[in-house]
Amino acid sequence: MNAQEINFDTNLNVLPIRKATRGEDRMRYIGFPLGIVFFLILYLMPTPNGLTLEAQAAIASFALALTWWVTEPLPTYATSLFLMGLLTFFNGWPEHKVLGVFGLEVIWLNIMAFILSSTLVKSQLAKRFALWIGIRFGHSSLTILGAFIVLQLFLAPFIPATTARTVMVLPVMLVIGSIYGSTSGKGNNFGVNLFMQNLQGISIFSSGFLTGSTCNIVAAAFIFEMGNQKIYYSDWMIGMLPITLIVMSISWWLGPKYLFPIKQEDQQPKVKGGFKVMQKMLDDMGGFKLAEAKSASIFIFVLFLWATDRFHMGWFGFEISAVMAALIGVVIVFLPKIGFMKWNDADIPWHVMIFSAGAYSGGLALFDSGAARWLVGSVFDMVGLDSNLNFWLVYIIIISFAMYAHLFFTSKTMRSIVMIPIIIAVAQQFGFDPVSLALPAAFTLTWVITLPTNAKPNLILYSAGQFSISDNLKYGLTVSTIGVVVMIIAGFTWFRFLGITP
């Protein structure tokens, strides 16, 4: 690849065509009938006590979709449309709610975020920053991957909105991936590691700070209201930030070495002439252009509104939501003379929007129908939490369940609302300090790292075509399991030292 072949443009609206491996082909043939079998078994079995027919239909429909999303016998967007039809025809969720998902704030936030991300590419600000970071840190694949992890750690406490962080780094990741020979639909293991580690960094580092996600704040509120113990910002950070650093360090080392080994030829930038060419390309760009200055200004303005949302009421007398802040930025971008973009410059992956709508339909149907709460309660009953168990066995069960629950419940806030009160009740029933179980469980809420459907950043990164759902599942399950092990060890050591566990 020479300097002219480096792709500094994106085209996320075009679904990349990727040749399936032999293993993926087998998964598709197995997954199609398997999803139907799961649906029929769950839908036709006698309705369990405490579960409504609507909730049973929602569970069956989601099980089929989850199986197909993982094995991909159909494109992910087609599976989402199929799920929306199942929910409607089998009364898992009302039609107006299923179709109304496209009007949800989360969908509009994604659309606005993609338009804002397009400004960084259109203005070539992403190209400038990518060349700089490549020259500064890109002498090997490990150093450039590490640089992005440090960047995610730096952004986490200052920009609580995970979507904002994703939109900020995505254009740079696309360009860096291209420099290392990984492009949409023609990716290599460098691209898989780059995108997976950023996906994990966005979510895992959010668990290191109380303000890293709304679900953290909700969990802390439940602990205060039900357990009568206040969790301070410093308590949360001191307790969890070291854990995030340990796990992300393991992920940084494990991925390129063993999970998705980077070939020798992919460990260096694929730029003919090496870094001298990259430096020349950066020099040829000259000074900051007006479009770059506009893009940076608009982006910083939107990020400022996102980061200061808690102060809006005092400043303005009203709150500017995340989606409205993004909308303001997009309007400015399209204004004649003031802005610098036209509609055709906006790179919006509509197939991902449809995929998202189906995912949120399934998750919201589980929540609204009561299926989510029933599933959580059933799992706790199944593992025997109503018997006389010692603290550490209960702790291990709850941490394990809390870590993997994101596979089935797509909203972090929903899981916080459903799970944390139940965990506090379990602790009180056993005579344990509620903090000893609820706080460690709350630390895992943002670890939504296993499937593209788990969170908005995952969907945005998946749209780039640099990794498959099976790649996400393999890397995510591995790091989640490492997280469970580290959290259990921390329970016996670090958390005990801090007084969180007995």
Q: Do you know the residue count of the chain?
A: 502
Residue 254: other Cβ atoms inside 10 A? 16
Q: Domain residue spans in the chain?
A: 105-177+189-210+230-343
186, 351, 405, 448 from 477: Cα distances, Å = 24, 25, 12, 10
Which pLDDT score, from 0 to 100, does residue 386 have? 54
DSSP codes of every residue in 234-269: HHHHHHHHHHHHHHHHHHHHHIIIIISPPPGGGSS-
Q: Tell me the backbone φ, ψ of residue 63, rounded to 5 degrees.
A: -60, -45
Which pLDDT score, from 0 to 100, does residue 129 have? 74
Which pLDDT score, from 0 to 100, does residue 328 have? 93
Closest CA to 149 of 132, 160, 137, 161: 137
Cβ atoms of 80 and 358 within 8 Å: the answer is yes
Which pLDDT score, from 0 to 100, does residue 3 have? 39
> For the chain, percent helix, then strand, then coil, each to nearest 5?
75, 0, 25
Closest CA to 178 of 146, 208, 149, 138: 138
111, 155, 164, 413, 436 from 325: Cα distances, Å = 13, 19, 11, 21, 38
Which pLDDT score, from 0 to 100, does residue 4 have? 39
Which pLDDT score, from 0 to 100, does residue 5 have? 45
Give the dihedral sign, CA 416/418/422/423. negative
Q: Specify the pTM.
A: 0.67
Cβ atoms of 197 and 148 within 8 Å: the answer is yes
Which pLDDT score, from 0 to 100, does residue 2 have? 42
Task: Report the distance separating Cα 491 and Cα 502, nearest Å.
Answer: 9
Task: Report the distance separating Cα 412 and Cα 447, nearest Å.
Answer: 9
Rounded to 5 degrees, what angle do the CA atoms 163, 212, 365 make?
Answer: 60
Please, what's the b/e burial string for 31-43 (b: 16 or more CB within 10 A of its CB; e: otherwise)?
Answer: bbebbeebbeebb
Match 């730029």 to its residue by tokens.
271
* Maximum alpha-carbon separation in the chain: 71
Task: Report the distance separating Cα 254 and Cα 149, nearest Å.
Answer: 14
Burial class (CB in 10 A: 0-12, 13-18, 19+), 91: middle
Over its length of 502 residues, how does the chain's per-residue pLDDT go in tens digits?
Answer: 443 344 455 566 666 565 666 777 788 889 999 999 999 999 999 999 889 999 999 999 989 998 898 788 988 889 989 999 999 999 999 999 999 988 877 678 778 877 887 887 788 887 787 678 767 776 778 888 998 898 888 778 766 667 767 877 787 788 788 878 887 777 789 999 999 999 999 999 999 987 677 678 778 877 877 777 888 778 888 999 999 999 999 999 999 999 999 988 777 777 665 566 667 777 888 888 898 899 889 888 887 887 677 688 889 998 887 778 889 999 999 998 888 888 888 878 787 778 778 877 887 787 788 887 787 677 667 766 555 678 998 899 999 989 998 887 666 766 777 788 778 877 877 788 989 999 999 999 999 999 887 887 888 888 888 898 889 999 999 999 999 999 999 999 999 999 999 9
